[in-house]
Amino acid sequence: MFKLSRKTITSLFLVAFLVLLVHFFSPFFKNSAQGTLKPHLVLINLIKRELSGMIFYHRNMMDSGRLRYENENLRRRLFDLREVEQENLRLKNLLNFKQRSPYRLVPARVIARSPDSWSSSVIIDKGRYSGIRRGMAVVNTQGLIGRVAETSVSLSKVLLINDPSQGVSSIVQSSRQEGLVNGSLGSNLIMRYLPDEAQIAPGDTIITSELSQVYPKGLLVGTVINVGKEFSGLSRYAMVKPAAELSSVEEVLVIIP
C-alpha cells in the first residue's frame, strides 16, 4: 500500500499553498516590479540608443543621405496625391459614402523586450493614463506590429504578430482571399486555412480583414514570400514576411478606436 508520511503530506500542503499564494499575489507584484524597473529601463534604452548612434555613425550618415533623397521624392508624390485625394473626396461625397472616423494614434517608445525566447512581446512606455486599453491594435509606419496584451498605469505589454499565440484575420489584397496569419516565433509569419484554389502568389500583399475583431481593416501585415501545401493536403499555407521589422522595433503607434 502506498503510504505518505506526515512530513511529506505537510510539504505537499505547503507547496500547494505556495502555488495559490503566488498565483494570488503575482498581479500585485507585477505592477510594483514594473513600476520599479521602468526608470532604469528608460535610462538604459536612452544610453543604448546614444551608443548605437555613435558606433554606427557612418551607417547613419549614409542612411540620412538616402532618406533625405527619398523624402524629397515622397514630398513630390504627396503633392500629386493630394490632388487625387481631393478628387476622391469629391466623388465620395457625391456617392454619399459614409466617412469613417479617423483613428486616434498614441505614439509610444519600446523600452524593453520579452525576457524569454518563447514569446515575442515588447513593453512600451505608455499605459492606461494615455488611454491605452487591452486589445488595442499597435502599428508603426511600416505596418502592423501587434496588439496590447496587458496595461498598467504607465506601461503596456504588446504581443507582437510573430508570437505563436497570435492570429490575425487577413486577406490577400489583390484577390481578397481570406486566411489566418499566425506567428511562429521565427522571423516570418504563416498564413493558414487557404483553400487549394486560392489565388495567392509570392509578392502578394497581405492586409487585415474586416472580420478581425481586434485590428481595423486594411492594415498592412506583410508580403507573401512562399506558398506551400499543408501536410494534410487539404489546404495551402503561405509564408509571409512581416512589413514591420519586428526584431528591432523602437517606436510604435497605438490605435485608439
Partner 1 sequence: MKKLLVFICPLVLAIIQLSWPPALSVFNVKPDLLFAFSVSLVFYLDFRIILAAAVFSGLLKDAFLPQALAVNTLLFAVWSYLAYRICSQVSTENNYIRASVVLILALLNNAATGVYLIKTGSIIPAGIFLRSLVLASLYTVLAAPLMFKLIKKISA
Q: Does 197 bind partner 1 (CB under 8 A)?
A: no
Q: Does 194 bind partner 1 (CB under 8 A)?
A: no
Q: Does 10 bind partner 1 (CB under 8 A)?
A: no
- Round to whole Å and give the CA distance between 132 and 151: 7
Stretch that binds partner 1, among 43-51, 70-78, 98-106, 222-230 (CB under 8 A): 43-51
- Round to whole Å and give the CA distance between 100 and 97: 9
- Position among 127, 145, 157, 244 found at the interface with partner 1 (CB under 8 A): 157
Task: Tell which phi-psi region holds residue 203, choosing left (phi > 0), alpha (psi between -120 and 50) or beta.
Answer: left
- Position among 13, 14, 40, 175 found at the interface with partner 1 (CB under 8 A): 40
Q: Does 7 bind partner 1 (CB under 8 A)?
A: no
- Round to whole Å and give the CA distance between 173 and 187: 22
Q: Does 44 bind partner 1 (CB under 8 A)?
A: yes
- Position among 22, 78, 89, 105 found at the interface with partner 1 (CB under 8 A): 22
In the complex, minimum distance from the CB of residue 200 to partner 1, in angstroms, rounded to a whole number: 19
| CA 166 to chain centroid | 9
DSSP state of 115: S
Q: Does 186 bind partner 1 (CB under 8 A)?
A: yes
Q: Does 202 bind partner 1 (CB under 8 A)?
A: no
Stretch that binds partner 1, among 1-9, 87-95, 135-143, 158-166 (CB under 8 A): 158-166
C-alpha angle 23-26-29 in degrees, rounded to nearest 5: 160
Q: Answer for the pair 151, 128: CB distance below 8 angstroms, yes or no.
A: yes
CB burial class (10 A; 0-12, 13-18, 19+) of residue 118?
exposed
Look up residue 249 and give its amino acid: V
The contact set with partner 1 (CB under 8 A) reads 18-19, 22-23, 26, 29-30, 33-34, 36-37, 40-41, 44-45, 48, 111-121, 123, 149-150, 157, 159, 163-165, 182, 184-187, 190, 247-248
